Amino acid sequence: MEKVIIDTIAGGILPEEIKVGKDSKRFKQIRTCILISGLSVFAQLYLFQPMLSLLCRDFEITPAMSSLAVSSTTIGMAVGLFIFAFKADAISRQKLMSITLFISSLLTILSAFVGHFYVLVLINFLKGVVLSGVSAVALAYLSEEVSVAVIGLAISLYLSGNTIGGMSGRVVAILVSGWQGWRAAAVVIGIISLLLSLIFMKKFPESKHFQPKSMSVTSKFRQMVFFIKTPLFLGMYVIAALIMGIFVSVYNYLNFILEEPPFSLPHYVIAMIFLMYTIGVAGSVLSGKWSDKISPDFLLKGLLFLMLVGLLMLQVMHLWAVVLGLGLVTFAFFGAHTMASRIVSQQAKEEKSSATCLYWLFYYLGSSFTGSLTGVVLFKYGWAVFMGVTIAMVIVALLVSLAVTPKLSVAYRFVHRRIYAFIRN
């Protein structure tokens, strides 16, 4: 029996029975640590977003320039993901994630003591590059170590940690900076992240099924080109870029609409829209659980359709419709993101980190470029055209999902037969 298992692993086929299941101690350790990694990464990633006005006063810069404190980190993430796409498969998953979480927390603490704004931008860029080491291999680690029966739950916990980390990082930054300034906030987030990294380093299990592979740059390029040329992977990458662009655009600019008639809401009420992120946690967790029983590609199509419904409701100029529409968009985005990332991590039989690196690269590029371009559309042509663009984007994403996953799921075929029988009768 031992020889069969060894030969099977050597052949690149990993039996599900030797991966960890839901009730094992190892799975519980993985579940907790992967959640911690998501919390730390996104708390640091969006640390400066709510404190841009403080940076303007401290460094005597314009609001547009202050935004570099955030965009430099996300650009660093994109650059780092491209770099790790070439090297991540040759490095221990556990060591890479542990080291990057530790170094990033030190960079966050260091950022509190800079005296020049461009030094802060440089540190944040480097922090983004370092943090990308976690995103580069987290999904690959899960797909290698966790049984397919519970991988949806594991991935949803990681993405939920991302969501909670981003939201809690903003809240802590606002509270601490209002009390002691942005430098104190950076120190607090840095120390919390440092403690989380130490817990992670101690508790996170080493990979049992990862085999390091060294590959030349030329071979790696060929591998990346393969993923991009494969319709399924390219489709998931395009969907990631589109839905992230939609999500960021809506959250970036909805507040401008709520400030003006017919809503005329005060700023402290508008600020509460970020609490909708909690609905995103539900979207990640529920879709992850559902995907352990229902085809992920079927769920992806359904969630993209739900996002379309939410965007249509945002065009109704009544507060109840806007709140409900935003909730649907948030739930659907995080659920669709969970499904698309699961499909990529599971379908990449080899070089999983390369496949997931490309996924995150498209994801952050969609955030960076679409989030800015839709703002130009909004302020030049108005809310209706802006929403028209986002609706067109989600329709494209839905069409792409239909094109690259043409095989209908069992659930879809069942529903289709019932509807057809009902029409005939």
Residue 10 has a pLDDT of 36
Residue 13 has a pLDDT of 40
Q: In terms of domains, do 60 and 147 share one?
A: yes
**In contact, 348 and 233? CB cutoff 8 Å:** yes
Q: Kindly state whether residue 13 falls inside one of the protein's structural domains.
A: no
Q: Up-side HSE of residue 373: CA atoms within 13 Å toward CB?
A: 12
Q: In terms of domains, do 177 and 227 share one?
A: no
Domain final residue, candidates 168, 183, 208? 208
Range of the domain at 178: 18-208
CB-based burial, 37-55: b 16+ in 10 Å, e otherwise = bbbbbbbbbbbbbbbbebb
Q: Which amino acid is at 275?
A: L
Q: Kindly state whether residue 10 falls inside one of the protein's structural domains.
A: no
CB-based burial, 114-132: b 16+ in 10 Å, e otherwise = beebeebbebbbbbbbbbb
Count other C-beta atoms under 10 Å from residue 382's C-beta. 12
**In contact, 105 and 40? CB cutoff 8 Å:** yes
Q: Kindly state whether residue 111 falls inside one of the protein's structural domains.
A: yes
Q: In terms of domains, do 295 and 390 share one?
A: yes
Q: In terms of domains, do 83 and 168 share one?
A: yes
**In contact, 352 and 140? CB cutoff 8 Å:** yes
Tell me the three state secondary structure of residue 146. Answer: strand
Residue 270 has a pLDDT of 66
Tell me the DSSP string of 333-400: HHHHHHHHHHHHHHH--S-HHHHHHHHHHHHHHIIIIIHHHHHHHHHHH-HHHHHHHHHHHHHHHHHH
Q: In terms of domains, do 303 and 166 share one?
A: no
Q: Kindly state whether residue 12 falls inside one of the protein's structural domains.
A: no
Q: What is the pTM of this model?
A: 0.70
Residue 268 has a pLDDT of 60
Question: Which residues are registered as beta bridge partners of 146?
Answer: 20
Question: Integer distance in angstroms from the first to the last C-alpha of the chain?
Answer: 55
Compute the distance between CA of residue 258 and CA of residue 31 in angstroms, rounded to an integer. 39
Q: Kindly state whether residue 164 falls inside one of the protein's structural domains.
A: yes
The H or E element containing residue 177 is helix 151-180
Selection from 28, 29, 25, 4 nearest residue 15 by Cα: 4
Q: In terms of domains, do 78 and 146 share one?
A: yes
Question: Which residues are registered as beta bridge partners of 20?
Answer: 146
- What is the residue whose two structure tokens read 């491209």? 82
Domain final residue, candidates 185, 208, 231? 208
Q: In terms of domains, do 77 and 182 share one?
A: yes
pLDDT one-digit tens code per residue, 153-179: 777 777 778 778 877 777 787 778 878
Residue 22 has a pLDDT of 53
Q: Kindly state whether residue 244 falls inside one of the protein's structural domains.
A: yes
Q: With a cut of 70, list the residues of the chain below it in pLDDT.
A: 1-23, 63-64, 88-90, 149, 209-216, 252, 256, 267-268, 270-271, 274, 350-353, 371-372, 406-425
- State phi, psi for 11 to the nearest 5 degrees: -80, 0
Residue 418 has a pLDDT of 53
Q: In terms of domains, do 176 and 282 share one?
A: no
Domain final residue, candidates 188, 208, 228? 208
Tell me the DSSP string of 192-208: HHHHHHHHHHHHSPPPS
Q: In terms of domains, do 311 and 166 share one?
A: no
Residue 412 has a pLDDT of 40
CB-based burial, 329-356: b 16+ in 10 Å, e otherwise = bbbbbbbbbbbbbbbbbbbbeebbbbbb
Compute the distance between CA of residue 68 and CA of residue 115 in angstroms, rounded to an integer. 16
Q: Considering its fold, how many domains does the chain have in total?
A: 2
- Within its chain, how far is the Cα of 112 from the centroid? 26
Q: In terms of domains, do 40 and 127 share one?
A: yes
Compute the distance between CA of residue 282 and CA of residue 84 in angstroms, rounded to an integer. 30
**Given 3-state DSSP classes, what are the helix, strand and coil percentages for the chain, each rounded to the nearest 5?**
85, 0, 15
Q: Kindly state whether residue 350 falls inside one of the protein's structural domains.
A: yes
Selection from 339, 364, 336, 347 nearest residue 136 by Cα: 364
Compute the distance between CA of residue 36 and CA of residue 49 in angstroms, rounded to an integer. 21
Q: In terms of domains, do 330 and 391 share one?
A: yes
Dihedral Cα 375, 398, 135, 350, nearest 10 deg: -150
Q: Kindly state whether residue 6 falls inside one of the protein's structural domains.
A: no
Question: What's the DSSP call for residue 260?
Answer: S
Q: In terms of domains, do 135 and 111 share one?
A: yes
CB-based burial, 393-410: b 16+ in 10 Å, e otherwise = bbeebbebbeebbeeebe
CATH number for 243: 1.20.1250.20
Residue 192 has a pLDDT of 94
Residue 38 has a pLDDT of 86
